[in-house]
Structure 1
Amino acid sequence: MTNKSKYHPAIKEYHLKDGSKYYRFTVYLGVDSYTGKDKIVTRSKFPSLKAAQVAIDRLKYEFNNGQKPEDLRKTFSDVYEEWEVTYKDSGVVMSTYSKTEGYIKNHILPFFGHLKVSKITVRHCEQFASQLSKKLKYFHHIINYAADVMNTAVRYEYINSNPFSTAKIPKESVHEISDNYLDVEDFKLLNSHLASLDTMVQALLRVLMFTGIRKGELLVLTWSDINFKKKTLAIREAYSYSKHNNGNNVGLPKPKVSRNILLDDVTIDILKQWKQDQVLRLTQLGIKLNKPSDQLIFNNSVNSFLNSYYPNEQLIEAIEKLNIKFITVHGLRHTHATHLAEASADFAGIQNRLGHVVSKNTTGKYYLHVTNTIKQNTLQSLINYYKDHDIQ
């Protein structure tokens, strides 16, 4: 072997048995700040002297800028495997994990899997988003998963920045919703579909559909909030995440007033079934309940609050399967209010059921009290309306 480079004496020329000529080197980069040890790198099979010189220059530049050579060889698939471990440990429910795994293996890995994360550019991200938008109507959640894998690469210092952060992503039609509610026929289809779902998802969507509560109110519900004998649901708190909350994300519901909602018999039965199933699932997970009444009604696999996007994912999946009008989770609240109005329910009863501020006029503020009779008549109006449309 002979040295051929004036600037990099480490480069050596060598020949294979077939006579072909290549270049290789063993070069000292410096002291690794992570291990405190000398970093020595060997590379071979460069077709030209120039290619070997460029490789050394690049390695030294990247090493001096805090990027380790072995990290630069990490592919998206490599980082995904690391991301998957932390994602599982985050407490995501297994049904969500299974769907996420499907999104990644069917859409993300075929595009990014073979690429080195250090080579993924903004253009790659925009091409991926563009292709996805042409195949799927609702695709932003899939892009978010790909971006989160790249965030893991940033967090582990394999790359310095996430190209998704500056990529221009096409808008979803979700943002163009004008009438965010379901008519009674689409509502009927969605309600009929619930029986085919996981017990928890069935209970979760049924409560949203037949009570009109806010998503934040749903996430903090415990079994102590339900009185099965009186068929009531107490709304006392709501979950509202903010980085400024210092971890205190549970507070009073809007408009900072508690309320009790009457439940129909079918909703009560579905909740009873889920309560039994939940005990079995928690036992299988090795989770012991110290005080069952404080148990969250809707929990993740580490028995904590569901991710706030979870109800959205379940609703989107059902809507896509049924091919009905798209609405948001908050649209189920709009739907509940609209159907109550179509059922000619008492206006004060609707206000109370939805947790809206009572009218500020003198009559509403001082003289009108929403009695149990008004609450019962409001619910009964809705039940009768749904019976007329063969909904139970």
Structure 2
Amino acid sequence: MPKRDKHIKQYKLKNGEVRYMFHAYLGKDPVTEQPIQITKRKFATYNEAKEVYDELIAKGVKGYIKPKQHTVDEVYKVWFEAYKETVKQSTANKTAINYKVHIKPWFGNDYIDQIDTAKFQSWVNSLYKNLVKYKEVINRFSQIYDYGAALRYCQKIYNPVNAVIIPRKTKRRRRNIQKNFYTLDQLKQFLKVAEKQNYRSYTYFLLLATSGIRKSEALALTWSDIDWEAKTVSITKTLALGIDNKLIVQTPKSLTSNRPIPLTEHMISVLKEYRKQQKIICPIIFHGISNNYVNLSKPDRWLQAIYNADKSLKKITIHGFRHTYATLNKNQERTDVEAVMGHNSIEMTEHYTHATQEGMENIRSYMNSLNI
């Protein structure tokens, strides 16, 4: 009687029937150099199991059929479900948009363990040429790939991000902010036109220019944020786009973004007049027709309407009003100004904690002297 192959094992099912199985080593994957081992069972006879085992051993790695491969899009969907619970909704929404626009068209249907290095380098080069924050998108791809590796869909050491050349950021890629602000005279000219055009938009842009707050911080303000006696506005929230571009209110950009801001005498009087003009008292300062928060794109339409009213006005972006505030206060104590603006840094966090009322009053006094 011929000697039986030790790799063929006999076992019993729950009903007592005998079956055969084997565990075979086929060699190393020529690409990943990882060992390929395979287990097969449920053979009715020893000879049936032996025949399949010998055939697999003879073919080796070439005869091996990989388990179901997974596309980048499949891995992304699983990764994103976990990722979105670890960040703000606005961050998750931005990530989803970046994936849909910059990653999926290139790699969505590619198997994650078969990313072509040359194609990946072309993608990186394209991002660099067309996107300012290109490294942010590349890092997201790397996170998705590493997650796929954790699920054993690909090998972590072969992450394509590590196999290509990532271009360095250069100063030429930075937005030219030198022209994106108003001088005092230009601001006064703009506000004069804005006041005649629409009092709500006038109030909004006057607030941006005299407080340095961000566009979305201003849109999230409620009347309860105004301290009429102290003449300050408290920044405790911001308007943002959550999952599926749903408008949400969330905490500000950073720890230092939670801050009280001094308001000028004129700003206080304008806010009071604006409140009187509202036919329905709504808790939201810059509310829409339905007394809800307005879309984040609304201020852009307000700004364009003002520019349409006077073609001679210099055009800046909405963020340019924040630059305008910083420029107007360029001779003030830098740390006081940055604390008011909510700049995010260790130095600002420490300064903000110990900011003096005197510093705030100095800024208020200076802004009052500009008569805007």
Instruction: Give the greater-gyration-radius structure (CA).
Output: 2
In the superposition, the TM-score normalised over structure 2's length comes to: 0.48
In the superposition, the TM-score normalised over structure 1's length comes to: 0.46
